[in-house]
Structure 1
Amino acid sequence: MVARRHARQTRRFYTLTAASTIVPGLGLIPSRRRTGQVIVGAFVLGVLAVCAYGLAKGVTSSVISVGVSRRALLVAIPVVFIIAVVWIWGIITTARDNMPEGSHGRPKVAMVVFTAFAAVLVFAPAAQAMRYAVIQHSLIGNVFETLRPDGAVGPIEGDDPWADTERVNIMLVGSDAGKDRSGVRPDSLMVASVDTTTGETVLFGIPRNLQNIPFSADNPLSKEYPQGFNCGDECLMEFVWKLGSDNAELFPGDPNPGLTVTKDAASQVLGLDIDYTTVINLEGFAQLVDAMGGVNITVQERVCIGCKIDPNGTVVGTTGWIEPGYRKLNGYRALWYSRSRAGSQDGDFSRMRRQRCMVGALLNQVNPTSMITRYPALAKTLEDNVRVDIPQQDLDEWAELVLRIQDGGSIKSLPLTNENINVNQPNYAKIHAMVDEAVNPPEPTTPKKSSTTTPKPSPTTTPSSSPSSSTTDDGDVLSDITTTC
């Protein structure tokens, strides 16, 4: 009888302790009815509230809205902590209330280990959730701004926060700032133009050696350079940032005149109103690729590592090579693949093609599951090396726009290179027309069907000269960015 009763008590112990592990407080109801019922009731109400919010807003949107709100994260951290403490207390109390009398030796050790394991099952994910919330809170505060840039379009209140905005344009700058360099020279300069309705995005690459850079009438530098920044090889796009920094007195109260002037110049080059900017330190880019576990990419041409061009035009300092073929590059090699211009037939333009190839490869590789496991390292890299002037309070709406890009939009690329423009004497009217056609492509025409004859292609048809339909050996035309490699 004693053995049978002890066996029943043992089964009861494991059953109720497991119940409190699955649903907080459930195993407490037999021994502490009111306490158990209150905990279970609160848990059920909380789950129902979360489900209702998820159904109303959408599961993905609900998670994102919490993840991009510093206020929501500040609330979530103590809430998760309290839930975890109450849950673990319920497990331990359930185990203590239902421990069989006279338990000792291995059976008691097994029950204690089971209780500890059950507590860890709750503690581990709760601790990880709080850790990620703290990291995310810090990331948002250090990477994003608190105020919207002057003149920038932005979301509004309502069902569709982008209803009043046709397009939003973001300048992406790869900065070469470092300990061994003075000032900042944009090593990579692109502008992403996003259709807020469809998510269709066009990425424009601006060459660093572009000359005769125009400034807007509102730019104080336009008085000193009424014909644009046009002093030959000393007045290239890559020097515009330094020009702004060297004339900071013309921009009182501006914390970053170099970025301001670069943004204005890029806007004039493309004929687009640039709303926001993202600046990444390219040394941090290597860390980002490593944090992502490397990048898989198809290398089209042999690329030297450690190389540079001396004043005589000779390539020196090569320490290795990235060979053609399908490769997995770590951060160091990915950075050289994206930056190296020595040894290429057309230098900067070859590098621009490789940079958009790298962007496409990284976009193809993004996997939410793997990114979550690598998130702490990714967040640290972003926090140290990336600055975005999108305001924190707009991040929820921006997350919705990103989902539109991922769900229904495509990302196309149109680089400005020596294959489609003259970088020494650029025709900005032509560039503006190319940009306009890229963001507002003409509607495809459907030929009329004839009831008697079948149309045949003419052998003397002249190919179109538009940027979306023209072709070159190097592929410097409007094309899907994920297929540029």
Structure 2
Amino acid sequence: MASGSEPVGRHRALGERGMASRRNARQTRRFYTLTAASTIIPGLGLIHTRRRTGIALVAGFFLTILAVCAWGLAKGVTSSVISVGVSRSALMVLIPVILVGALVWIWGIVATARDNMPEGSHGRPKVAMVVFAALAALLIFAPAAQSVRYAVIQRSLIGSVFDQLRPAGAAAPGDGDDPWAGTDRVNVMLVGSDAGEDRDGIRPDSVMVASVDTQTGETVLFGIPRNLQNIPFSEDNPLSEQYPEGFNCGDQCLMEYVWTLGRDNAELFPGDDNPGLTVTKDAASQILGLDIDYTTVIDLQGFTQLVDAMGGVTIDVKERVCIGCKIEGGVVVGTTGYIEPGVQKLDGYHALWYSRSRAESSDGDFSRMRRQRCMVGALLNQVNPTSMLVRYPKLAKTLEDNVKVDIPQQDLKAWSELVLRIQDGGKIKSLPLTNKNIDVNNPDYVEIHEMVQDAINPPPPAPKTKTSTTPSSTPSTSTTEPSSTSTTNGDELSDITATC
């Protein structure tokens, strides 16, 4: 009897172990399946063990998705993203929402893993399951943490770079579907500041004005030369009393000294924390005959960091540009290298020299002005949201340290949409004021104003020439009077892509 019962006991024991093994395998598969389900959709895996809680989490998730989609479809996906990204208050709400949502999601993953851990698990299988649950939680935590980080950076950037109040008299967007519907043009002055430890105050290295058609996005960049003389001031400018005929004391009264003039007469501008910029803005407005609405000041000491943060900038270099060079006693010295002609991607160091070098240029400052406008156009056209997202922390830090814009924070959504119009369909044209189209020593500002108006409001193209013949006459050609050109003998209004 004993010998016969032993095989039966062994078979029973083997059967029980087999059943336990299959049960353990089912529990293990269920652990991984349900934990993965709670990772993909918060709470989905909890429905098996905590039905009400799981259903509540799943329902909350899908309701949130539906609400976001409905909002995005109603306002437009791009517009919706922009409206959140440029609003400090919206970002302030978004940060805790992301944190709470991520914590609830991660709790669902952990609870699912704990509820479905096979009984008696130990050793490597248990370690593997714990690691799996931890990785699943990390898949939610990592992007949530990065999103919060970017939102905090963006909120800080908006507060540091942009103003709270709109400049007096500036063209302003409205509140309708098209915020720019009531504004034909907006003019922005771009100043490259060469402030540094070895300089007394600021002398603008470059002054440009971008005049933007708000409906088409078409933009004209006007370059104002540093050595322009007889700078006019408006009647509202206190300095007009000292210089009723303009800033006209020869080569000691150039455009590049206007900023310093304003700073040195700060007492004439009570309550103004930047009289140098105020006077420069007024001068640019009088030179071009345009109302300057907003200003952007870029510290060129940080320009290198800005280009590097963007991953470089692609430029079609038209002429050889020297690096490290300067003019001393009429002789070019200090050259350490060259940027050769051709299409190439420049890093920050070479982009700065491309924009500032003038020692060996074909026409000195004016050649440099053309290159600076090419750089502005290239940077604007090559901004790519996807690539910028990867570099954003570094880019934001560079902008905070080196850029100041007086566009008010509440208008940033409208401005973001305007930039998209410029990139999507607007052409960027360039009209430099150089010694080839004006007399920089004795400029005719009436003529300059006409040039500017022709550039931003070009006349319609002339009808095509028609040729007709009759049996009793010789061929005759009827033409219309040629339209006036905006410049003569050299630097003319042209598409920036053609000149750069």
**Do both share a fold (TM > 0.5)?**
yes
Matched to 1:109, the amino acid is: V
Matched to 2:380, the amino acid is: L
1:355 and 2:372 aligned: yes
1:265 and 2:280 aligned: no
Matched to 1:256, the amino acid is: N
1:478 and 2:493 aligned: yes
Shift of residue 324 of structure 1?
2.3
Percent identity among equivalent residues? 77
Matched to 1:65, the amino acid is: S
Shift of residue 457 of structure 1?
11
The change in CA–CA distance for 1:449 and 1:483 in structure 2 (over 3 A counts) is: closer
Counterpart selection for 1:295 from 313, 317, 322: 313
| Matched-pair contact (CA < 8 Å) for 1:363–1:482 | no
How many residue pairs are counted as aligned between the two chains? 478
Structure of higher CA gyration radius:
2
1:332 and 2:349 aligned: yes
Q: Which residue of 1 aligns with 2:485?
A: 466
Shift of residue 126 of structure 1?
0.3
| Matched-pair contact (CA < 8 Å) for 1:202–1:412 | yes
Q: Which residue of 1 aligns with 2:456?
A: 439
The change in CA–CA distance for 1:364 and 1:167 in structure 2 (over 3 A counts) is: closer
Shift of residue 295 of structure 1?
2.0
Matched to 1:341, the amino acid is: R
The change in CA–CA distance for 1:457 and 1:106 in structure 2 (over 3 A counts) is: farther
Matched to 2:70, the amino acid is: A
SS of the equivalent of 1:29 reads: helix
SS of the equivalent of 1:396 reads: helix
| Matched-pair contact (CA < 8 Å) for 1:69–1:392 | yes
SS of the equivalent of 1:429 reads: helix
Query: Deviations along 1:125-182, whole A, 9 cap, x unmatched?
Result: 0010000000000000000000001111101222222222111110000000011111
SS of the equivalent of 1:441 reads: coil
Query: Deviations along 1:214-257, whole A, 9 cap, x unmatched?
Result: 00010000011000001110010000000000000110110000
Greater shift, 212-221 or 416-425, is seen at 416-425
Q: Distance in 1 between matches of 2:82 and 2:481?
A: 50
Matches within 5 A, 1:48-447: 48-310=66-328, 312-447=329-464
Matched to 2:270, the amino acid is: P
Q: Distance in 2 between matches of 1:326 and 1:178?
A: 31
Q: Distance in 2 between matches of 1:405 and 1:357?
A: 15
Shift of residue 464 of structure 1?
6.1
Q: Distance in 1 between matches of 2:498 and 2:58?
A: 53
Shift of residue 366 of structure 1?
2.2
Q: Distance in 1 between matches of 2:498 and 2:465?
A: 32
The change in CA–CA distance for 1:119 and 1:471 in structure 2 (over 3 A counts) is: farther
| Matched-pair contact (CA < 8 Å) for 1:280–1:387 | yes
SS of the equivalent of 2:153 reads: helix
Gaps of at least 5 residues in structure 2 are 1-18
Shift of residue 456 of structure 1?
9.4
TM-score, structure 1 as length reference: 0.95
Shift of residue 328 of structure 1?
2.6
| Matched-pair contact (CA < 8 Å) for 1:356–1:484 | no
Shift of residue 379 of structure 1?
0.4
Q: Distance in 2 between matches of 1:292 and 1:394?
A: 24
Q: Distance in 2 between matches of 1:103 and 1:449?
A: 93
Q: Which residue of 1 aligns with 2:8?
A: none
Q: Distance in 2 between matches of 1:336 and 1:68?
A: 33
Q: Which residue of 1 aligns with 2:6?
A: none
Matched to 1:188, the amino acid is: S
Q: Distance in 2 between matches of 1:404 and 1:328?
A: 25
SS of the equivalent of 2:322 reads: strand
Q: Distance in 1 between matches of 2:45 and 2:422?
A: 47
Query: Deviations along 1:448-476, whole A, 9 cap, x unmatched?
Result: 766768x9998x999865027x673xxx2
The change in CA–CA distance for 1:99 and 1:159 in structure 2 (over 3 A counts) is: same
Q: Distance in 1 between matches of 2:91 and 2:207?
A: 33
